[in-house]
Structure 1
Amino acid sequence: MNRMVVQQFPAGGPRGSWPAEEFAAAQRELGHAVDVVMDLDADAFLVVARQLESVE
């Protein structure tokens, strides 16, 4: 399974603010299979879409 980064959010957001989670929830409501992961090297939250590999 491949993943594609849909959106990136800085980890240092305002206290109590979860912009990556809110964006992911909106995408899920539209029917997109997305997850939120932490990129430690970039100090950012990534919203990634799951993409199935094509089988030939």
Structure 2
Amino acid sequence: MSAREVLGRVSAGHPRGSWPAEEKAAELTRQGQPATVVMDPETDSFLIVPKAAS
């Protein structure tokens, strides 16, 4: 995985899966900081990262 700014991290073993990460990304996006969730298999975590401009 390339180096990126990480805004948050949720364990892939969380009982609610990626939902907490998705909720945090949505909250950041509503606050004006577009974010998305990616899986980091090296750390077995869902990472909340800034959304890339398209």
Aligned to 2:23: 22
Residues 1-56 of structure 1 show CA distances to partners (whole Å, capped at 9, x for unaligned) of x731000110011146610000001001101111100000100000001477xxxx
TM-score when normalising by structure 2: 0.77
> Which amino acid is the alignment partner of residue 10 of structure 2?
F
TM-score when normalising by structure 1: 0.75
Q: Alignment length, in residue pairs?
A: 51
Structure 2 unaligned blocks of 5 or more? none
CA RMSD of aligned residues (A): 2.4
Q: Which has the higher contact order (CA 8 A, sep 6+)?
A: 1
Larger of the two Rg values belongs to structure: 1
Structure 1 unaligned blocks of 5 or more? none
**Which has the larger share of strand?**
1
Contact 1:24/1:47 (<8 A) preserved: yes
